[in-house]
Amino acid sequence: MQGGVSRRGFFTDAKHLATCAVLAAPAASFAEEVYESGVTKYDTTKLADEWEGFLPSRQVKRGGQTIFVNQEFNDKKKNGLAVYEGNLILTSFMEGLGKEYWQGSRVLELGCGTALGSITASVMGASSVTASDREDTVLALAEKNMKANIKDATRFRTAKVSWGTDVCGPDTAKYKREIGGCWDASARAPLVGRGKDGDTAYDAIIGADLTYTSGLIAPLAKTLKDFSGPKTDIILCWCEPKLFTFNTDVMTELNEKGIPELQKDFTVERITQGPAFDAGLSNKSRSFILRLKRKA
């Protein structure tokens, strides 16, 4: 995070949450009034009427199973600690692909947040899931949620990955490993066996609302290339958040600058319609899914 703005493009402390909420909508909401006034004790139930991310937990049904998701955004005011609209759209799209698609696959989730995407893949039949992020707090929550929803502990793990960085070498300083300044080579190898197509790459890579800054697409693309093979299906979702967006032109920037950057190394299918978009509940007109394949 630089200058109070995370890679997702949101402010992460109470003071700045007030500022960005005001920029996002002309009419003051209860959430905006709370943060503007500096009040620290507030009615979470009332805030949750505007965004369920304020709740300590929520339930999402995917693949015929109710997934119980712990959330810590309300306590820690840190991005990635709640289920966002993009997570709902992504996992609904994943569900729509059917269990046969996911059966036996090895899945990597980038920017995992609560790990809802990883858990959904597991519920749908994936043989293993790896939930990755660069933040220890996020990874701890992801592991907590996977333990609560995936019975077999050998089928999931977390991995600290910072986009655009290289594999950690044998002489890499410990601090650099710990801050995600490089990624552990073990994260590159899928967790269980060989992939459906017999290679060593992940079968699928997923992610939701990974960044709202087009300048971060290049390092994201490098990481996608590092973890994928020619047969890897990459499914990424963006949905303009209902609350706390500091830049109302973020989706335009991603469309005009971000997608062309991805097209340098991947074929890109842009999806904007379908049943999955109803799962976002709001802003579905400002949402899209990108389905990528590495170019030969």
Strand partners, 41: none
Q: What is the pTM of this model?
A: 0.79
27: left (phi over 0), alpha (psi -120 to 50) or beta: beta
pLDDT digits (tens, 9 = 90+) for 211-252: 877 888 999 999 999 888 889 999 999 987 665 544 456 677
Indicate the average pLDDT of the chain: 77
Nearest of 37, 34, 65 to residue 49 by alpha carbon: 34
pLDDT digits (tens, 9 = 90+) for 177-220: 666 677 766 666 566 555 666 666 889 999 999 987 788 899 99
Name all domains of the chain by residue range, CATH numbers in brackets.
80-294 (3.40.50.150)
Q: Are 227 and 201 a contacting pair, CB within 8 Å?
A: yes
